Amino acid sequence: MRVALFITCLADGLYPDVAKATVGLLERLGHEVEVPLQQSCCGQMHINTGYPREAVPLIRNHVDAFAGYDAIVAPSASCTASIRHQHGEVASSIGDASLIASTAEIAARTYELSEFLTDVLEVTDVGAYYPHRVTYHPTCHSLRLLRVGDRPLQLLRQVRGIDLVELPDAESCCGFGGTFALKNPDVSTAMLADKMQNVLQTRAEVCAAGDSSCLMHIGGGLSRLKVGVRTVHLAEILAST
Amino acid sequence: MTFLGMPAASLTGGNLDGEQPFPEAARLSVGNAQLRRNLGAATHTIRGKRAAVVSELPDWQELRAAGAAIKDDVLANLERYLLQLEQQVTARGGTVHWARDAQEANRIVTDLVKATGASEVVKVKSMATQEIGLNEALEQAGIEAFETDLAELIVQLGHDKPSHILVPAIHRNRSEIREIFLREMPDVDPALTDVPAALAEAARGHLRRKFLTAEVAISGANFAVAETGTLAVVESEGNGRMCLTLPKTLITVMGIEKLVPTWRDLEVFLQLLPRSSTGERMNPYTSMWTGAVEGQQFHLVLLDNGRTATLADPQGRSALRCIRCSACLNVCPVYERAGGHAYGSVYPGPIGAVLSPQLTGVDRNPSLPYASTLCGACYDVCPVAIDIPSMLVHLRARVVDDKREQHRLPSPEQAAMAAASWTMRDSRRWTRALRAVRLSKPLRGWRLLPPPLSSWISSRDLPAAPAQSFRDWWTEREKSRDE
């Protein structure tokens, strides 16, 4: 099986440790990972802000970069959801038959990390050791677009040394929402405040999630509060030994 | 995407847009602690009730699909069903009027009331009449309208605006309601307490006098059955039924999308609606009437007000499936914090964010499609499966297209998006751009940055820029492996 990593633009530029952890984890499980460097961004930010036209070249680049792999793994539910649901829609809106076909092909082979581990590799115990008190925030796009259900929790429960505590009102959005965080900073912050209050209530030292974007938002808020709770991506926990 | 031949929504009057863009209006409401508390408590209570009664039905998803399919059939054959409805209502002694927009609907209703000689009307809770601003229009014509739904009464007496489709006074708690009643209700007992039963009793006494004297009632409609010409109103208090049965003249204002083809189709919606809206298995009062009862006059005003324009957009039209249950409001994290008034329209929350801009045209409501994190909670609970998040994304593109048409010079956002697209479509440019990220390192900790970063750092620290991008690390690793 030829496995490619979709780094995601956010991990590439701001959270390289998340992508390194994803590679490290998959290699530890015995898979060779390729990283086609032609890749950049899935274009979700453009699509969701009202710029599908500007997303088209990014989608073209994405399907070119990932042609020929058996599986494409991304440490992000949100980017995976965009590839799976939005790329085809944008391709349809411009009526490009070959792009419609190639986006469908790439979409069918793209997996969010927890999906890839549990559904394709069929592992839940990845041999990780992580001796910390952790609470898990299920991101909206993992829950309601990809329907990953409790896959991430199945993986986390098998981690040795972990003290996994349930997050109250876990399924509520953290308030990030891409450019929403910038266009509607007051509502975004109000949602963040409630999310952080719930995180603090668990007395966890780490808030984990499967999307760097939501973690950037929650982590940025926690850092501002100086409460000594940090955000860590699911991949980093699963890669720890 | 706008296409040729799409009728533009050009409306006169009505309550579908506010004076402020959503982010500014929301800034005020987010800062109102009492409002946040009232909304948080109320939405979480209804949310829980809905979830419980929906989970009881093993065929909920099938019901949902049936509801969506029936409404899609109505929308695809709207002309036929509307003419059928008109024919049936007319055959049974009612009179049908067609209103292009709010102004026309208000004029029709005002003239009908004037013709009866009445100077007072009682009203059944109705979104359509709120949408067109009927009470204000009647007031200008010297006709006083009395809202008889308890929550609408609270809103009206408080000189306030509704902030929720189902619970218009959701932003008020009972101590605030007591104050409004003491201040505004004639003949109220000055010893009134804030016990819900006492408040309801005060409203009952006040309204009973109106029911017994009113000559004209005005209602909306939850459903209209095309095959029989039957209208249906679904409510909880019985006050609607008083209005529908007691006065001599009944005027119903109904959006043209409220149709169902056959009587049997109601079976689906009378299950979907109460469970989704009040979290009840069945609503307490379902009133149905067909044509005019002897001794009574019945007028039906069919309202377009932007609905035909909405219907013309294939990616936006399913918003017209909406049965106004407000389940999407109750689960929406944005609505929960911002409250209904921030949306500026009588239709707030997720459905309002897709419906209002379509009814008015996106130029009049450009901030609403952005009033969502696209978390998807609304789509999950929608009883007619309106994919609100995808529709929001579609409407954002329409907003951007509209701005492009309005202004020759690109906005900073348009320029930034174009630049990002240009950079990201080419891996060499992208690789170099990522190297520049580390130059942002000193920005962390700054408290003064230009927009849009200023919005970010108002409550969040910037992430620490890494020394090296992932791709540079990978390239080095690959090189060292080859050596």
- Tens digits of per-residue pLDDT, B424-482? 999 999 999 999 988 887 788 788 888 888 999 999 999 999 999 999 999 999 999 88
In chain B, residues 328-387 whose CB comes closer than 8 Å to chain A = 333-334, 337-338, 367, 369-377, 379-380
Share of chain A above pLDDT 90, in %: 100
Domain locations in chain A as residue ranges: 3-120, 133-239
User: ipTM beyond 0.90?
Assistant: yes
Average pLDDT over residues B405-434: 94
From CA B337, how far away is CA B353, in angstroms rounded? 15
Per-residue pLDDT band at B408 (split at 50, 70, 90)? confident
- CB-based contact B81:B74 (threshold 8 Å): yes
Domain boundaries, chain B: 1-408, 412-482
Instruction: Look at residue B316 in the predicted model and tell me its pLDDT.
Output: 97
As a whole number of angstroms, the distance between CA B394 and CA A178 comes to 16
B166-220 residue pLDDT tens: 999 999 999 999 999 999 998 899 999 999 999 999 999 999 988 999 999 999 9
pLDDT greater than 50 at residue B27: yes
Q: Is B420 close to A45, i.e. CB distance below 8 A? A: yes
Beta partners for residue B96, in sequence order? B300
Q: What are phi and psi of A136, to 5 degrees?
A: -110, 125
Please judge whether A187 and B337 are an interchain contact, meaning their C-beta atoms are less than 8 angstroms apart: yes
Polymer length in residues for chain B: 483
- Kindly give, in sequence order, each residue whose CB lies less than 8 Å from that of residue B329, ignoring residues fewer than 6 positions away: B43, B164, B165, B166, B335, B340, B348, B349, B350, B351, B352
DSSP B54-123: HHT-TTHHHHHHHHHHHHHHHHHTHHHHHHHHHHHHHHTT-EEEEESSHHHHHHHHHHHHHHHT-SEEEE
Q: Is residue B12's pLDDT more than 70?
A: no
Q: Do A13 and B437 touch (CB under 8 A)?
A: yes
Inform me whether the C-beta atom of residue A7 falls under 8 Å from chain B C-beta atoms. Answer: yes
Of B12-16, B242-246, B364-368, the one with minimum mean pLDDT is B12-16
At B4, the pLDDT band (50, 70, 90 cuts) reads very low
How far is residue B303's CA from residue B426's CA, in Å, rounded to a whole number? 51
pLDDT at A175 over 50: yes
Spell out which residues of chain A touch residue B458, defining contact as CB-CB under 8 Å: 185, 189
Tens digit of each residue's pLDDT (9 = 90 or more) over B325-374: 999 999 999 999 999 999 999 999 999 999 999 999 999 999 999 999 99
Around Cβ A157, how many Cβ atoms within 10 Å? 12
CA distance B111 to chain A (A): 44
| B294: confidence class by pLDDT, cuts 50, 70, 90 | confident
Q: Answer yes or no: is pLDDT of B2 > 50.
A: no
In degrees and rounded to multiples of 5, residue A10 shows phi and psi of: -65, -45
CB proximity list for B35: less than 8 A, separation 6 or greater: B29, B171, B339
Residue B5: the pLDDT is: 44
The bridge status of strand B297-303 relative to strand B95-99 is parallel
B130-173 per-position pLDDT tens digit: 999 999 999 999 999 999 999 999 999 999 999 999 999 999 99
- Residue A235 near residue A28, CB atoms below 8 Å: no
Question: Strands (DSSP E) along chain A, which ranges?
Answer: 3-5, 33-34, 71-74, 110-112, 133-136, 163-165, 206-209, 230-233
Q: Which residues contact B204 (CB under 8 A, 6 or more apart)?
A: none
B255 φψ region: left (φ > 0), alpha (ψ -120 to 50), beta (else): beta
Dihedral of the CA atoms B323, B328, B330, B332 (nearest 10)?
A: -160
Question: Given B31, B376, B473, which is nearest A140 (Cβ)?
Answer: B376
Which chain A residues are closer than 8 Å to B338 by Cβ? Answer: 187
pLDDT of residue B1: 38
Nearest Cβ partner for B456 among A41, A144, A182: A182
pLDDT tens column, A55-73: 999 999 999 999 999 999 9
B458 touches chain A (CB under 8 A): yes
Tell me, what's the pLDDT at B443? Answer: 81
CB contact under 8 A, B424 and A41: yes
Which CATH topology does B1-408 take?
A: Rossmann fold (3.40.50)
CA nearest neighbour of B229 among B261, B257, B268 = B261
Average predicted confidence (pLDDT) for chain B: 94
DSSP A144: I
The count of residues in chain A is 241
Among A15, A51, A212, which would you mutate to test the B interface (most chain B Cβ atoms within 10 Å of its Cβ)? A51
Q: What fold, for A133-239? A: Rossmann fold (3.40.50)
Closest Cα partner for B346 from B253, B266, B448, B419? B253
What is the widest separation between alpha-carbon atoms in chain B?
98
Asked whether A48 and A178 are in contact (CB, 8 A), the reply is yes
**CA–CA separation, A66 and A109 (whole Å):** 10
Helix (H) or strand (E) holding B254: strand B249-255
| ω into B452 cis (within 30 of 0) | yes
SS (H, E, C) A32-86: CEECCCCCCCCCHHHHHHCCHHHHHHHHHHHHHHCCCCCEEEECCHHHHHHHHHH
Identity (one letter) of the amino acid at A187?
Answer: V
